[in-house]
Amino acid sequence: MKVAVVGATGMVGRTMLQVLEERAIAIDELIPVASAKSKGLEVSFKGKQYPTVTLADAIDMEIDVALFSAGGLVSKEWAPRFASKGIYVIDNSSAWRMEEGVPLVVPQINMDVVQKSNKIIANPNCSTIQMVMALAPLHQEFGIKRIVISTYQSVTGTGKAAVEQMVDERNKGESTNMVYPHPIDKNCIPHCDDFTENDYTKEEMKLVNETRKILGDESIAITATAVRVPVVGGHSESVNIEFGTEIEVSKIRQILENTEGIVVQDDLAANVYPTPRGAMNKDEVFVGRIRLDHSLKNTINMWIVSDNLRKGAATNAVEILEKLKIK
């Protein structure tokens, strides 16, 4: 099997290489792909150095699967060109997620929506992936009516330059390369991605639209506020969920404990609950602070944390690759 990693020199691309190596997937040939200006730059995989090639080079190299993490514009232009060659494209950008006929996949939830004819498969947004991992089994059991989401998102979700801005501010008091419109160190910025016409950000609307698509239920009422916080390691979410039927917290806890990919950390007496530092470099989604909302019937609050570069991006894409029936 020939696998290309498009955007191999970026944060998510490098994490994809790491996850591919950790999972010992039977790859006969790895093809790292980067921009023209980065052509020839070497990346490490399984103890060897591989020089990057361009998209124009890679498309004719008889690839089986291409993991894309190079931004929406690149994906819009090149994913169809790769797909036309019979190459499966697992795309990490937002370019194809809401496109009709393109599966939006979290393997533990809805891998069954992928057909052999689907050459482009969309990887959901990082904050959506971790949330729906916890919501899907609960929706199946109780039926979700409404979700109120507040996110606390790592700077790694923006990329390397954002991490550098935070580090510069922390070490030097200021940064000369401002990725955010405000300082991020010792600050919280309620502004993830661009604002849209309805005064919500694109990130907030991704949580709304992608959640409905993955769960296959357009009737769920969803509202979100996405906040950037000065941490690395993972995204955190406070999620308020109203169900359509009678619930029991003990049953909800039992369902989550028995769900693949979920780790319940919820021992208040011992101060055990998920944190982004605790989730860093791990593939699981961590859930805690599970409790009734006493202001509304059949409603709970949960705290959900996951490493946004791994399960929120790279790991989910690699898990799709693992479950694909390529040949």
Residues 114, 120: Cα–Cα separation, whole Å: 10
Specify the DSSP class assigned to residue 313.
I
Cβ proximity of 206 and 128 under 8 Å: yes
Of the residues 191, 192, 235, 294, which is catalytic? 235
Determine the 3-state secondary structure of 224 from DSSP: strand
Instruction: Report the largest interatomic distance among the alpha carbons of the chain, rounded to a whole angstrom.
Output: 59
User: 270-308: buried (b, 16+ CB within 10 Å) or exposed (e) per residue?
Assistant: eeebbbbebbbebbbbbbbbbeeeeeeebbbebbbbbbb
Summarize the chain as % helix, strand, coil (round to 5).
35, 25, 40
What does the angle CA 181 – CA 71 – CA 231 come to, to the nearest 5 degrees?
A: 45
How many C-beta atoms surround the C-beta of residue 194 within 10 A?
A: 8
Tally the C-alpha atoms within 13 A of residue 181's C-alpha that lie toward its C-beta. Answer: 7
Of the residues 126, 139, 191, 294, which is catalytic? 126
Among 327, 250, 319, 258, smallest CA distance to 283 is for 319
Cross-strand bridge partners of residue 239: 149, 302
Residue 192 among the catalytic residues: no
Residues 135, 132: Cα–Cα separation, whole Å: 5
Residue 126 among the catalytic residues: yes
Summary count for the chain: helices (H), strands (E): 10, 13
Q: Catalytic site residues?
A: 126, 235
